[in-house]
Amino acid sequence: MTAINPLLQDWNTPYGLPPFDLVKAEHFVPAFAAALPAHLAEIDAIAAESAAPTFANTLAAFDASGRLNSRISLLFENLTASETSPALQAVEVELAPRLAAHRNAIYLHAGLFARIAALYARRAELDLDPEQLRLLERVHLDFVRAGANLPPASRARYSALTERLAALSTAFTQNVLADESGFSLALEDEAALAGLPEFLRASAQEAAQQRGLPAGSHVITLSPSLAEPFLTFSDRRDLREAVWRGRVARGAHDGVHDNRPVAAEIMALRQEQAQLHGYPTYADYQLVDRMAGKPEAVSALLGKVWEPAKKKAEDDRAALTEMARSLGQPTPIAAWDWRYLAEKVRQARYDLDDAELKPYFALENMIGAMFDCAQRLFGLSFVEQHGVALHHADARLWEVRNRDNALIGLFIGDNYARASKRSGAWMHIFRSQSGHNGGTLPVVINNNNFAKADVTLLSFDDVRTLFHEFGHGLHGLLSQVKYERLAGTQVLQDYVELPSQIFENWAEEEVVLQRHARHYQSGAAMPPALLEKLKRARQFDQAWSTIMYAGPALIDMALHSLPNGSKVDIAAFEAQQCALLGVPQDIGQRHYLSHFQHLFSGPDYAAGYYVYMWAEVLDADAYDAFIEAGDPFEQKIAERLRRYIYSSGNKQDPALAFRAFRSRDPKVEPMLAKRGLIA
Ligand SMILES: [Zn+2]
């Protein structure tokens, strides 16, 4: 270790970005060793202030503290997710409990909490503006939820269990990554490639190349951008079964990467956590900080879709079974047949072939489409910057400018799958927006896992994912709040998917597709007939996707609603729940518990997988405002959307924000109609 640690220097880089080219894994432990005590010293100083607590000397000071630490933490989180290495993984394991201990030192700081609690008790008399009041209420709740109100005797135990939980979450995530990168299915001859369209062959070749296999080899990995199209197109039932089983078994192999005992221990500790807080279950504890409020509200929503979707799936199953017979494939059909047969039925019924669509969805064109939508809705322009070092050569950087051409933020797009990256798609930040020091420019990153190719062609689902994450990105970029705790996506968990999911709607708009869905070779616009077929075909097989999603959401709630002190055998519990719910065996679930990272890679989505559907109620209803206006870019609605949803962060209660946008409370019917569950 040299004396110069780039993490602790001033970042004299373009836009104050992290000095990516200088940072190495070994810099993080010493950097945190300096930054954590420095942060704690700031906290001690706020707590030791001799003047009586005021909003300024306590809340505003707390919100402004720890900037060095958060700068390093955000970089660390991004690198371990987007571009990890064995060295970084080792650092992650070492640091997880230390970072959790640091969080405890702050949120269990008796002196600081005493000041916050004193202000909270007098909040009505403090003459605060709405954003200040919201900050006070939020921070108070953060402290209470983190254990600040616990009797001193319980606090040490509480710290120990949150630190252990952090270590277990890290292990859970790393085990999934290990199983994903450990799996590869070599397609050794032409027979193994049967049915695969050109784009998938190209991606499978690229994946083989990345694994150092000889030129011309083809490999299918568990990355969704390979595995899902493989399940859709491969004529080889045995190979589809191998991929399906490989996906299901992630985290469920005996040995060092077995996540079943990890998840069981996480559940035991969460129950103890809920117990200490005085809640009967962990779900009750989690739901206090959500729009839903109580587990019953979640059950009511999921109950509206589960049985109707199963009922609706019966018709689809009959059509798929008939298709299987006509192809000479065995029946009853299995989970590894559903996508394949559904694609065949879709082709027969709608004459629509995914492979026919893909040439119109070149990644580059779709990036242009999402930027164009942001321009037409919010007046934003995106100007690509070259020559600035980022975390990986495939990542790209854009300046984001508003109508007055003022720089409002930076956007990083990292779109390709690689072994060093987590699977899935997500948005994160390197820097938050806030009013701190005259204003801080947000730096937002979108990660996807598209298969890299000379020209990357997306499926329409990929396009929606791209737009989804960009919706989160805009939530971070358009944020206009004073306090960092309230900025961008730091909203309630069942509200955070509203800005992302509503943005998917523009990907389906005809005017957007006409302009941007152009053939990657000829540049021709998508033929109107194909566009029409795409629209009609999208209604097909909605029951399947509803079941794939709602099953895991129901099992999540059931698991986290177990009374405190219940011992959980993860595999047995899951099997029992699947039987109880009647999860159709030929459909299965999008996630199984042994790799369900939403639940176990951290607490945010625990008892919270439902949040996507909760937000879907909001986004389907919100988007209807544009449909009612007959213009997807109607400016008055777009301006209300920007003001109340995209830029207001957590400045106000989300129910009030929605009401301000829509002039009424949300209705559930638009979501049910979109899923084809009501007429
Ligand atoms: Zn999302």
Query: Can you say how many angstroms the Cα of residue 89 is from the centroid of all Cα atoms in its chain?
Result: 21
The letter for the amino acid at 24 is: K
How many angstroms separate the alpha carbon of residue 518 from the centre of ligand 1?
27
How many angstroms separate the alpha carbon of residue 522 from the centre of ligand 1?
33
Query: Could you list which residues have their CB under 5 Å from ion ligand 1?
Result: 497, 500
Mean of the per-residue pLDDT values of the chain: 95
Q: Which helix (H) or strand (E) holds 443?
A: strand 443-450
Residue whose token pair is 């779109």 = 415
| pLDDT at residue 434, rounded to an integer | 97
Decide if pLDDT at 2 tops 60. no
Stretch 213-221: mean pLDDT, rounded?
A: 93
pLDDT tens digits for 76-113?
Answer: 999 999 999 999 999 999 998 899 899 999 999 999 99
- Has 469 been annotated as catalytic? yes
How many angstroms separate the alpha carbon of residue 425 from the centre of ligand 1?
8
Closest of 194, 207, 233, 205 to residue 354, by C-alpha: 233
Closest of 461, 474, 463, 538 to residue 500, by C-alpha: 474
* 537 confidence band (pLDDT: 50, 70, 90): confident
Phi, psi of 173 (to 5 degrees): -60, -45
pLDDT tens digits for 543-573?
Answer: 999 999 999 999 999 999 999 999 999 999 9
Stretch 362-380: mean pLDDT, rounded?
A: 98
How many angstroms separate the alpha carbon of residue 28 from the centre of ligand 1?
28
Q: Which helix (H) or strand (E) holds 118?
A: helix 110-121
How many angstroms separate the alpha carbon of residue 469 from the centre of ligand 1?
6
Find all residues with CB under 8 Å of 523, minimum gap 6, and list them: none
DSSP string, 237-267: HHHHHHHHHHHHTTT-SSSTT-HHHHHHHHH
Q: How many CB atoms lie within 10 A of CB 508?
A: 17
CA 466 – CA 413 distance, rounded (Å): 10
How many angstroms separate the alpha carbon of residue 276 from the centre of ligand 1?
31
Decide if pLDDT at 232 tops 60. yes
C-beta separation of 439 from 407 below 8 A: no
pLDDT tens digits for 146-187?
Answer: 999 999 889 889 989 999 999 999 999 999 989 988 899 999
* 306 confidence band (pLDDT: 50, 70, 90): very high
Stretch 507-514: mean pLDDT, rounded?
A: 95
**Residue 491, phi-psi category: left (phi > 0), alpha (psi -120 to 50), beta (remainder):** beta
pLDDT tens digits for 384-418?
Answer: 999 999 999 999 999 999 999 999 999 999 999 98
Stretch 459-485: mean pLDDT, rounded?
A: 96
pLDDT tens digits for 644-668?
Answer: 999 999 999 999 999 999 999 999 9
Phi, psi of 578 (to 5 degrees): -60, -40
DSSP 21: T
Number of residues that this document lists for the chain: 679
Beta bridge partners of 397: 385, 412
How many angstroms separate the alpha carbon of residue 655 from the centre of ligand 1?
19
CA 183 – CA 177 distance, rounded (Å): 10
The letter for the amino acid at 554 is: L
User: Sign of the CA dihedral 239, 240, 245, 248?
Assistant: positive
- What percentage of the chain carries pLDDT values higher than 90? 89
How many angstroms separate the alpha carbon of residue 496 from the centre of ligand 1?
7
How many angstroms separate the alpha carbon of residue 327 from the centre of ligand 1?
38
| 335-350 vs 237-248: helix crossing angle, rounded to 10 | 120
How many angstroms separate the alpha carbon of residue 10 from the centre of ligand 1?
33
Q: Which of 469, 497, 504, 574 is catalytic?
A: 469
CA 618 – CA 666 distance, rounded (Å): 6
Decide if pLDDT at 1 tops 80. no
Stretch 607-634: mean pLDDT, rounded?
A: 96
How many angstroms separate the alpha carbon of residue 471 from the centre of ligand 1?
8
Q: How many CB atoms lie within 10 A of CB 347?
A: 16
